[in-house]
């Protein structure tokens, strides 16, 4: 198998996993609720959270296999920590996304230059696969690897902090729909009392705030800035996928139970994924960027491992 074929197969493998989950009615970016666990899947040996497409992939694996935590490590990390993976356990695949760039050359092999004389470059990425084990598949690990998570604030306090520091105007009307209006950089919501509970209000708000990060003054995302993004077309559906994933990540961060905001788009998302096996990688990356932008504004630190 050539490296190019292998690279393509990883994209397809990821896409197939997401398609399977959507066809089963279980969007994998919605966090299975587990009290006392990190916000996002965590490499417990390094202390670093996984991001991008690895978030739904690892959440889905834990859910499918009945693992009660979101802590992962490699086979060698388990050994280095003084433990081991139990015999017969099967690994979960994850991906490593490596942004790269290379200089553009003309037909003679000479570098192409910008107006300022600097080399012109093109950006691309390499996608590699690696294997992980959940701590539930291991034995002999340090007790610290299993320490429960302590949240720093209540879910509603955290969500309100994100709203306050976003810089986005949020207005309320007696209406039955919620939306983000890019031309005015404004979110329009029903009044909080119209929602069944406060969690539903903030879940909807976080969805619209994810859209708002696409404004040209923030992350300038095509699904928000492009004049071709219209209700019902592919650009619009892709932006809704980004917002669904971004709001699910934010709900996980705050501790609010997430729910699917727009089930009517599942068919559109499936069409996008079947036509482009790189689409879910792009969407998850943009969702994570939106989440990180909002959390950076709010200087959010959602949890710590207990001593």
54: left (phi over 0), alpha (psi -120 to 50) or beta: alpha
The answer to which of 73-87, 124-138, 181-195 has the lowest mean pLDDT is 124-138
| pLDDT given for residue 261 in this prediction | 62
Query: What is the 3-class SS of the chain, one letter each residue?
Result: CCHHHHHHHHHHHHHHHHHHHHHCCCCCCCCCCCCCCCCCCEECCCCEECCCCHHHHHHHHHHHHCCCCCEEECHHHHHHCCCEECCCCCCEEEEEEEEEEEECECCCCCECECCCCCECEEEEEEEEEEEEEEHHHEECCCHHHHCCEEECCCHHHHHHHHHHHCCCEEEEECCCCCEEEHHHCEEEEECHHHCCCHHHHHHHHHHHHHHHCCCCCCCCCHHHHCCCCCCCCHHHHHHHHHHHHHHHHHHHHHCCCCCCCCHHHHHHHHHHHHHCCCHHHHHHHHHHHHHHHHHHHHCCCCEEECC
Indicate whether 217 pLDDT > 70: yes
Indicate whether 2 pLDDT > 50: no
CA–CA distance, 50 with 53 (Å, rounded to integer): 9
What would the pLDDT profile of 220-231 be if each residue is shown by its tens digit? 999 999 888 777
Strand pairing of 138-139 and 48-49?
A: unpaired
What would the pLDDT profile of 144-172 be if each residue is shown by its tens digit? 999 988 777 888 999 999 999 999 999 99
Indicate whether 113 pLDDT > 60: yes
pTM above 0.85, yes or no: no
Place of tokens 């978030």: 55
- Burial tier of 270 (Cβ tally within 10 Å: 0-12, 13-18, 19+): middle
CA–CA distance, 124 with 192 (Å, rounded to integer): 44
Indicate whether 303 pLDDT > 60: no
What would the pLDDT profile of 28-78 be if each residue is shown by its tens digit? 998 887 778 888 999 999 999 998 899 999 999 999 999 999 999 999 999
| pLDDT given for residue 233 in this prediction | 78
């Amino acid at each position: 198998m050539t490296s190019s074929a292998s690279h393509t197969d990883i994209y397809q493998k990821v896409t197939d996993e997401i398609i399977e989950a959507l066809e089963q009615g279980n969007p994998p970016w919605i966090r299975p609720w587990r009290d006392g666990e990190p916000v996002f899947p965590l490499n417990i040996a390094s202390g670093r959270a996984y991001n991008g497409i690895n978030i739904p992939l690892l959440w889905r694996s834990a859910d499918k296999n009945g693992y009660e935590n979101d802590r992962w490590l490699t086979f060698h990390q388990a050994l280095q920590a003084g433990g081991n993976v139990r015999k017969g356990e099967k690994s979960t695949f994850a991906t490593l996304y490596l942004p790269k760039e290379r200089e553009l050359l003309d037909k003679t092999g000479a570098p192409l230059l910008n107006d300022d004389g600097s080399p012109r470059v093109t950006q691309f990425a390499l996608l590699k696969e690696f294997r992980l084990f959940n701590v539930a598949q291991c034995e002999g690990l340090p007790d610290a690897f299993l320490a429960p998570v302590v949240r720093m604030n209540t879910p509603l306090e955290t969500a309100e902090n994100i709203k306050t520091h976003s810089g986005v105007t949020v207005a309320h009307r007696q209406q039955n729909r919620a939306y983000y209006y890019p031309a005015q950089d404004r979110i329009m919501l029903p009044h909080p009392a119209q929602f069944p509970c406060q969690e539903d209000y903030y879940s909807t708000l976080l969805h619209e705030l994810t859209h708002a990060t696409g404004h040209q003054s923030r992350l300038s995302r095509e699904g928000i800035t492009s004049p071709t993004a219209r209700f019902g077309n592919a650009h619009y559906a892709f932006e809704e996928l980004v917002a669904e994933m971004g709001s699910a990540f934010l709900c996980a961060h705050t501790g609010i139970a997430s729910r699917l905001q727009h089930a009517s788009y599942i068919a559109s998302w499936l069409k996008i994924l079947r036509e482009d096996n790189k689409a879910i990688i792009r969407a998850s990356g943009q969702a994570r960027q939106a989440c990180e932008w909002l959390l950076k504004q709010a200087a959010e630190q959602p949890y710590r491992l207990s001593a």
